[in-house]
A and B are shown apart, each in its own frame.
Chain A
């Protein structure tokens, strides 16, 4: 069941990115929904599952993309690794933290895609509007990720309380909607 749900979400992300985004207004500002999903899996799921999803999703995205092969996989795997490492050091249990990491995740993905392509291909030029586009993408990711987390929390029961201290112990949401006093 979990596998089916995770696969469904991955499939939706791929379809959204490859078929739905062009029909949205201002598609250049739409962030990759895989970022919140990987953060979610890294924070709430087991490591095996988080890395599995990151690698699978990354390979599919690489297959569809015109970017040098492996960039998506690289970005997703490093993102998952970083998020898991961060969650062992600090408690990611507040909404603003989720928003911050979502924004940073989008920034990281774009940096990997643009930066590594620019490094590998000397003829590649970073678009002049890149900063503005990445900024808007980060902002949108920060605003929407808590809602996506709530949605994913209902859809993908990957909760595993034994693997991380910051994770829920009672099946409630792992993050708080108000800041600590």
Chain B
């Protein structure tokens, strides 16, 4: 009973003291300052340790997980990049094939599409190998074209593959004409990688920039296919012919897909043969 009374009294005194303190403020004394002076460094040290531990966790142990995550993300990025590269390649192939298809629909001949699978091993001769042969109806002598223009002529066939002599090879010759003036000549491959437009008479009007197209008179290449444009004209003081150089419209180093014309127009003189 006495304990309960004592406790009630103590609570009452405490409440009264706190009320008085709230009302009149804390009396000035050196105890708090001393306590603060002594305890603050410890609090500071404790705070430093806690914060240090937190930082250690966040910046070191947590980094181990971050590093793992980083590795994972790098792998994902690599896979995405690879996929992106493949998609870009597919997109480019799609553009090329679409152009080839559109071109195929514009020409009035049956064609066989083929992919370039190899090139001439020597650095002096210009041939390519494509993945279509006699098995698909390819035969020796057929003309080969792309949307950009004439590529060359089939010179050898196996059931699965064909070898094509590029128009820029020295052994190649295409009967051609200037589109603007209908001036005729023979386009031959130049050792430098372009064309020489030969046998053009001096009197003929040929200008730099003129388009050169196939004339269709050689019995191999149909008429009207692009060969390139005139890049230089020299009229020597002597001689019958001009020296005309032609820049090919086809980038022969980058040809990847071609069309082989399987039913080129036959000329009367060939039929007679």
Query: What chain B residues lie within 8 Å of A127 (beta carbons)?
Result: 124, 191-192
Q: Is the CB of B121 within 8 A of A18?
A: yes
Given contacts A125-B170, A129-B192, contact A67 B119 (CB under 8 A): no
Q: In whole angstroms, what is the CA distance A19 to B165 when docked?
A: 16
Minimum Cβ distance to chain A for residue B155 (Å) = 8
Query: What chain A residues lie within 8 Å of B155 (beta carbons)?
Result: 66
Query: What chain A residues lie within 8 Å of B191 (beta carbons)?
Result: 125-128
Cβ proximity bits A17-34 to B, threshold 8 Å, 1 near / 0 not:
111011000011010100
User: Is A117's beta carbon under 8 Å from chain B?
Assistant: yes
User: Is A132's beta carbon under 8 Å from chain B?
Assistant: no
Q: Is the CB of A65 within 8 A of B120?
A: yes
Interface of A is mostly: helix
Cβ proximity bits A109-134 to B, threshold 8 Å, 1 near / 0 not:
01001100100010111111110010
Q: Is the CB of B122 within 8 A of A65?
A: yes
Q: Is the CB of B192 within 8 A of A66?
A: no
Q: How large is the interface on B (under 10, 10 to 19, 20 to 34, 35 or more residues)?
A: 20 to 34
Q: Is the CB of B119 within 8 A of A19?
A: yes
Query: What chain B residues lie within 8 Å of A133 (beta carbons)?
Result: 123
Given contacts A19-B118, A127-B191, contact A64 B124 (CB under 8 A): no
Q: Which chain A residues numbered 73 to 97 have a C-beta less than 8 Å away from chain B?
A: none
**Chain A residue at minimum C-beta to C-beta distance from B121:** A17
Q: Is the CB of A66 within 8 A of B129?
A: no
Minimum Cβ distance to chain A for residue B168 (Å) = 11
Q: Is the CB of B125 within 8 A of A67?
A: yes
User: Is A14's beta carbon under 8 Å from chain B?
Assistant: yes
Cβ proximity bits B124-143 to A, threshold 8 Å, 1 near / 0 not:
11110100000000000000
Minimum Cβ distance to chain A for residue B71 (Å) = 32
Minimum Cβ distance to chain A for residue B213 (Å) = 24
User: Is A61's beta carbon under 8 Å from chain B?
Assistant: yes
**Chain A residue at minimum C-beta to C-beta distance from B156:** A63
Minimum Cβ distance to chain B for residue A133 (Å) = 7
Q: Is the CB of A18 within 8 A of B129?
A: yes
Cβ proximity bits B241-260 to A, threshold 8 Å, 1 near / 0 not:
00000000000010000000
Q: In whole angstroms, what is the CA distance A125 to B191 when docked?
A: 7
Q: How many contacts A-B (CB < 8 Å)?
A: 73
User: Is B18's beta carbon under 8 Å from chain A?
Assistant: no
Q: How large is the interface on A (under 10, 10 to 19, 20 to 34, 35 or more residues)?
A: 20 to 34
User: Is B171's beta carbon under 8 Å from chain A?
Assistant: yes
Q: Is the CB of A64 within 8 A of B120?
A: yes
Q: In whole angstroms, what is the CA distance A28 to B127 when docked?
A: 14
Query: What chain B residues lie within 8 Å of A114 (beta carbons)?
Result: 124
**Chain A residue at minimum C-beta to C-beta distance from B254:** A22
Cβ proximity bits B75-112 to A, threshold 8 Å, 1 near / 0 not:
00000000000000000000000000000000000000
Q: Is the CB of B118 within 8 A of A64?
A: yes
User: Is B211's beta carbon under 8 Å from chain A?
Assistant: no
**Chain B residue at minimum C-beta to C-beta distance from A114:** B124
Minimum Cβ distance to chain A for residue B120 (Å) = 5
**Chain B residue at minimum C-beta to C-beta distance from A17:** B121
Query: What chain A residues lie within 8 Å of B118 (beta carbons)?
Result: 18-19, 64
Minimum Cβ distance to chain A for residue B171 (Å) = 7
Query: What chain B residues lie within 8 Å of A113 (beta carbons)?
Result: 122, 124-125
Query: What chain B residues lie within 8 Å of A129 (beta carbons)?
Result: 192
Q: Is the CB of A14 within 8 A of B124?
A: no
Q: Is the CB of B129 within 8 A of A64?
A: yes
Q: In whole angstroms, what is the CA distance A30 to B125 when docked?
A: 14
Q: In whole angstroms, what is the CA distance A57 to B171 when docked?
A: 24
Q: Is the CB of B170 within 8 A of A32?
A: no
* Given A14-B121, A17-B121, A121-B171; 14 other pairs, CB 8 A cutoff: A18-B118, A19-B117, A22-B119, A64-B163, A65-B120, A65-B127, A66-B155, A67-B122, A110-B124, A113-B125, A117-B124, A124-B170, A125-B191, A128-B191
18 residue pairs bridging A and B, Cβ less than 8 Å apart: A14-B121, A18-B119, A18-B129, A30-B123, A64-B120, A64-B129, A65-B121, A65-B127, A66-B125, A66-B155, A66-B171, A113-B122, A113-B125, A114-B124, A123-B170, A127-B191, A130-B124, A137-B123
